[in-house]
Amino acid sequence: MAIWQHTIILVPSKNFDNNYIQFLRQKETGYLKETHFFWENFKLSKENIFEKIDLNISEFKSENDDYVFWKGNSENLQDNDCSINLSNDFINEIKIRFDLRDIKNIKKFVDLLLEIANENQLKFMNLKYQFFDARKDLLLEDIINSNGIKFLENPEKFLKSLS
């Protein structure tokens, strides 16, 4: 993941509290915790979501029966990507990363994420495992507080803070 990208994982709001308990019980690993718990007993068809992603990330697409990946053009400040895991044509994980280097790109992906989430009763999770409702103010706050924005605002200060 590039430092100038912001990652949002979408999960269903339905039965969130019950599924959150299962999520918390996972052991820590070297990578992100699994989010498939949230998708149990929730059926979201891929067609509507795929169409929206195709319109917004169109440089490269790779797919097989249980996984689809889109990649944007990083040279045009559109280092956007999306990965969706599937089970029998139903979604069981959505992760979207978008480029923070261009304000038009940020606006496009804020709108896209809000549209997908609100149409399908989903909420957001960031890489710090903070969950929040699909509201523009909360999403913008998450972006503003991200390491990606801190890096872009002052790379030297950000890198010094890591040591």
pLDDT digits (tens, 9 = 90+) for 51-98: 999 999 988 999 999 999 999 988 888 899 999 999 988 999 999 999
Please provide the DSSP assignment of 77-145 as one string. Answer: T---EEEEEEETTEEEEEEEEEE-S-HHHHHHHHHHHHHHHHHTTEEEE-TT--EE-S-HHHHHHHHHT
pTM, entire model:
0.91
Residue 89: predicted pLDDT: 84
Tens digit of each residue's pLDDT (9 = 90 or more) over 11-65: 999 989 888 988 888 887 778 888 988 998 899 989 889 999 999 998 899 999 9
For the cut 80, the answer to whether the pLDDT of residue 2 exceeds it is no
Supply φ then ψ for residue 40, to 5 degrees.
-65, 135
Q: Which domains does the chain have, with CATH numbers?
A: 5-162 (3.30.310)
Contact 72, 54 (CB under 8 A): no
Cβ-count burial of 103 within 10 angstroms (0-12 exposed, 13-18 middle, 19+ buried)? exposed
Q: Closest Cα to residue 11, out of 161, 146, 100, 125?
A: 125
